[in-house]
Amino acid sequence: MSILSTPAILLRSYPYSETSQILRFYTESQGVLGAIARGVRKTGGRFGGALSTFSEGFLNIQFRENRDLQTFRDFSPIKARRGLAQDPLRLAGASVLGELILQHAESEGHPPLFAGLGRGLDAMDGVEREVFLPTLLAQLWPLIRGLGFGPLLQACVECGRAFQEEEMGRFDFGAGGLRCSSCQGEAQGPRLGPVARSQLMGLLDGEAPEELIRPKAHLRLASDFITYHVSGGTPLRSLTVLTALTPKTDA
Ligand SMILES: [Zn+2]
């Protein structure tokens, strides 16, 4: 057994017995990592405020290879991200990013993904409602790509021909990208015109457009894409919650 020290983000915690807590971290050096923290739930425990969800800091655990649950030593938060608690929408956005990582990230380090998650949570921490969806999607799509599932948008997934500037395409979830006008076949996904396509490409690069056209349609597309490719056919629970929270007025 050795002591492992790594930058980490706390993604979930559950009570375990009367005094303990099970913690799920995303760590820079070991990916997703579960740990049991004994005694932390006693009143006035040493970690009272430190173990708040989505905080990021430095984690020390007693680490043993091939063990599901490691033994927690301590966690010193650097970023508490208290802004998330000020708006349920922010919290829901952070939960989407966290659940995506928990669903798919492996138990090995992936520093760019770790940094991307941190950036996404920072963006959610202070986001204003008017720009919420574009801001979230500009963080979510790069994480999807970071997990290895980015959609193909520049060329048709069937024939490989590059899209013309003004061409409509139809999204094919199974094939992981857009079909051109001559290859629509059985594709049932949404149709994407040139504006939606270029805005989606921007989101994949982490750029929130100044005005995202039909933001809820973009959210649905991201949600369906995750359901199909990342979360094994079931929508992320946090995305269902988020969709219910977003104002009905946006298209
Ligand atoms: Zn084609």
Give residue-wise pLDDT tens across range 100-147: 999 887 888 999 999 999 999 999 999 999 999 999 999 999 999 999
CA of 145 to the centre of ligand 1 (A): 23
Give the pLDDT score at 46.
59
Give the pLDDT score at 188.
82
Give the pLDDT score at 214.
94
Give the pLDDT score at 43.
54
CA of 154 to the centre of ligand 1 (A): 11
CA of 221 to the centre of ligand 1 (A): 20
Give domain limits for the chain: 2-80, 83-151+184-245
CA of 212 to the centre of ligand 1 (A): 27
Give the pLDDT score at 163.
93
CA of 74 to the centre of ligand 1 (A): 54
Give the pLDDT score at 128.
95
Task: Please name the CATH architecture into which domain 83-151+184-245 falls.
Answer: Up-down Bundle (1.20)
CA of 231 to the centre of ligand 1 (A): 27
Give the pLDDT score at 42.
65
Give the residues of the chain that fall short of pLDDT 70: 42-49, 249-251
- CATH tag, 2-80: 2.40.50.140
CA of 104 to the centre of ligand 1 (A): 30
CA of 88 to the centre of ligand 1 (A): 42
Give the pLDDT score at 230.
85
CA of 159 to the centre of ligand 1 (A): 4
CA of 169 to the centre of ligand 1 (A): 9
CA of 225 to the centre of ligand 1 (A): 20
Give the pLDDT score at 250.
54
CA of 178 to the centre of ligand 1 (A): 8
CA of 161 to the centre of ligand 1 (A): 6
CA distance 147 to 140: 11
